[in-house]
Chains A and B, each alone.
Chain A
Amino acid sequence: MNIELIANLSYIVAAVLFIFGLKMLGNPATARRGNRLSAFGMLIAVVAGLNSQGIVSYEYIAGGIIAGTIIGALAARLVMMTAMPEMVALFNGSGGVASLLVGWGTLYGGDISMFTAITVLLAVLIGGVTFTGSLIAYGKLSETIRSAALVFTGQRIVNSLVLAGLIGSGVMFTLAPAADSQWLYIVLALALLLGIMAVIPIGGADMPVVISLLNSYSGIAACAAGFAIGNNILIVAGSLVGAAGIILTNIMCKAMNRSLVNVLFSGFGAVKQGKAIEGEVKPLSVEDAYYILEAASNVCFVPGYGMAVAQAQHVVKELGQILEANGAEVSFAIHPVAGRMPGHMNVLLAEADVPYEQLVEMDDINPRIENVDVAIVIGANDVVNPSAREDQDSPIYGMPIINVDHARTVFVLKRSMASGFSGVDNPLFFGENTRMLFGDAKESISGVIGEFG
């Protein structure tokens, strides 16, 4: 048996492990084992890759692996759970740039056929877009750069020029492929630029969609690199990830009742305002909140990104436990796009030890929201905005929301009266049964817990 055959057989084993791993990741009870299975598959694929013919020196490989392991492990260990979306974006970006470099490096391996040239081009293009797109997403999520949608006049023209430039220089490169072709450098530069241009017009609230789309891109980039070097496992694993990413993206878009095209190109936040809202805001003191909660028999928490910012997940869980001990039924209603990445709130509440049986999805809570005595909205805004249901002029009209305004009482924990990420006013705050608990969410809830104590 030659080495190449053994390598390919190992790749089949790795692919099977990836498939089972992904399958098991879809069920809470088996998810952790699934992830480990997939990691084991990766180990097999890596060892097989290390044994491929043609490798004469292992010094640089070892150096790269050691450096990468240290950086990756430290980042994974040290990151705060609330900063998870930006961390995933960074990992994603490094996967993208790796595929770009693999594609590029292929050009130095001897004769370049037309087919190789095209696949290298794709790897460079998609990898480049994934890289800079993820960096911008990272910047927006960590608020290093302004998270709102950035739209300027002539944006479409600039984008069209970039695209035309990409196609033109791509064709020129394929006609005369060479490692030092100037056209390759132009494609590289334009791909990096395209990644930036694609993500800057997307607002922070739409980041769950962007993150999962970029995740899909990084898979497709790996797939293109696989075509360039003729490696099966890159194609299989890359396309699995690509397909999985597309599905998740689609789920996110459906949850917002918007098309992917609309999310990517609308420049949310720069759009027209809905009706101006008039009414009276009724503030609530911590003591009054305590009296109402003490008497409540059914309490539902509705968390949003604000809970992550205030790091309030632990006190929220504590209050939930106290209420349960007090005889109330407690649940946590989670909107599919609450937070900044798919399932963001679930991760935070899990960190605080909330059992996943208490987490309910939007479609499960809405039919029985009338029976909820107190709905506590913590740092959520657009996902509970009744305008989405009632006001046809509202930019978020049509998005399914959690109907907290139908609960008997609504507490809204909020820093100030500023509008949410989409910049839309929220009539919920002026509702008949709404009480506003102003201040830092963590302090407010600690205050209520103190009253119970």
Chain B
Amino acid sequence: MEVVFLTFILVLSIFLGFELISKVPATLHTPLMSGANAISGITLAGAFLSAGAMNSEMATILGTAAVTFATINVVGGYMVTDRMLSMFKSKRESVK
């Protein structure tokens, strides 16, 4: 039953993703992509268990590496997106 439930979530999220992105001006394609990329670092939330459960040495190594890589993705992704977006100015703002 759990599988059905998870698949249900999957299908709805995919439709939501399509709806959200379909009308975005070209100007924002790069920040949108890198912002979405940062979200894909969500795998971090799942990496903790494997890094901290102390099941075996190998699991800890894999988990710690996963935490490191996912954090790079999350922190780097959000910061770089913010840096890009801080540059987008409208004419009014740049006069100030």
Contact = CB atoms under 8 A, between A and B. Distances in A.
Contacts of B93: 355
Contacts of B84: 81, 84, 347, 350
Contacts of A104: 62
Interface in A201-245: 211-212, 215, 218-219, 221-223, 225-227, 229-245
Instruction: Tell me which of B48, B54, B94 has the highest count of chain A C-beta atoms within 10 A of its own C-beta.
Output: B48
Contact of B87 (A57, A219, A248, A350): A350
Given A73-B79, A109-B50, A242 B87 contact: no
Given A63-B64, A247-B18, A248-B29, A108 B35 contact: no
A245 B65 CA distance: 25
Interface residues of B, number: 83
A421 interface: no
Interface string A53-74: 0111110110111011101110
B9 A342 contact: no
Q: Chain A interface residue count: which class? A: 35 or more
Interface string A11-38: 1000000110111011111011011101
Contacts of A71: 68, 72, 76
A46 B73 CA distance: 13
Main secondary structure of the interface of A (DSSP, over half): helix
Contacts of B54: 56-57
Contacts of A247: 17-18, 21-22
Nearest to B15: A243
Interface of A: 11, 18-19, 21-23, 25-29, 31-32, 34-36, 38-39, 42, 45-46, 48-50, 52, 54-58, 60-61, 63-65, 67-69, 71-73, 75-77, 79, 81, 84, 87-88, 91-92, 94-95, 97-99, 101-102, 104-106, 108-110, 115, 179, 211-212, 215, 218-219, 221-223, 225-227, 229-248, 251, 334, 336, 341-344, 346-347, 350-351, 353, 355-359, 361
15 contacts: A26-B20, A26-B24, A34-B35, A35-B81, A38-B35, A63-B64, A64-B63, A72-B72, A91-B34, A95-B70, A105-B50, A223-B10, A243-B13, A346-B29, A353-B87
Q: Which 3 A-B pairs have the closest CB atoms?
A: A68-B71, A243-B17, A64-B67
